[in-house]
Structure 1
Amino acid sequence: MVEHAETIALRALTWLVGNDELLPVFLGATGAGEDDLRARAAEPEFLASVLDFLLMDDAWVLSFCAAEGVPGETVMRARVGLPGGTGPHWT
């Protein structure tokens, strides 16, 4: 599942880099620089931050999923497979 999650996150990163309007928002929100996009693309934690960012807005998720031809729940499922993806269980 982790490999699938990383693949989805890399696809999301590629989509994000190609989005001239959203990329600066991601860079500003995360503090990442353009060099980080290449240097950290293989790090599961960085990929998790890409999906966390995307999940901040349903429109972004749906736009990515439409562009990639994947179901809407793909991003959330991939996020669970990366570090920090499981939320606290309050039981």
Structure 2
Amino acid sequence: MKLISADYAETLALKALGWLVGNEELLPVFMGSTGADLGDLRSRASDPAFLASVLDFLTMDDAWVVAFCDAESLPYDYPMQARAALGGGDVHWT
């Protein structure tokens, strides 16, 4: 398993954001679930916490991961690796 750097994770998250923006069905779902508006997409695109939320959203559904990774020619485990590299948001159910 390849380990992704934080810099690459941010780049991958920006690609995921771009993919979401181009997806007329998923963009409104993302914006509704995060409370983001179009201004936030532009102004927060360099915010690691916002980029983490993009990856959190993307990785909620395997079909979204597959569609994004196929569009970007990426291995299917990269979004989860990128999310882990951005840190924060770890949930332990114990």
Name the TM-score, length of structure 2 as normaliser: 0.90
Equivalent residue number for residue 74 of structure 1: 78
Matched, 1:32 2:36: yes
Aligned partner of 1:7 in structure 2 is 11
What is the CA-CA distance between 1:86 and the residue it aligns to?
A: 4.3
Query: Aligned partners of 2:40, 2:51: CA distance in 1, in Å?
Result: 11
**Structure 2: gaps (5+ residues):** none
**Contact preservation (8 Å) 1:2, 1:81:** yes
Q: What is the alpha-carbon distance in structure 2 between the residues aligned to residue 42 and residue 56 of structure 1?
A: 22
State the SS of the aligned residue for 1:24: helix
> Secondary structure of the equivalent of 2:17?
helix
AA matched with 1:70: L
Shift of 1:87: 4.5
1:21 has 2:25 as partner: yes
**CA deviation vs aligned residue, 1:52-84 (integer Å, no higher than 9, x gap):** 000110000000000000000010000001131
RMSD: 1.4
Query: 1:7 & 1:68 partners in 2: Cα distance?
Result: 12
Give structure 1 regions of 4+ aligned residues with deviation exceeding 3 angstroms. 85-90
Q: How far, CA to CA, are the matches of 1:18 and 1:81 in structure 2?
A: 25
Structure 2 distance, partners of 1:14, 1:77, is 19
Percent of residue pairs identical: 60
Gaps of 5+ in 1: none
Count of paired positions: 90
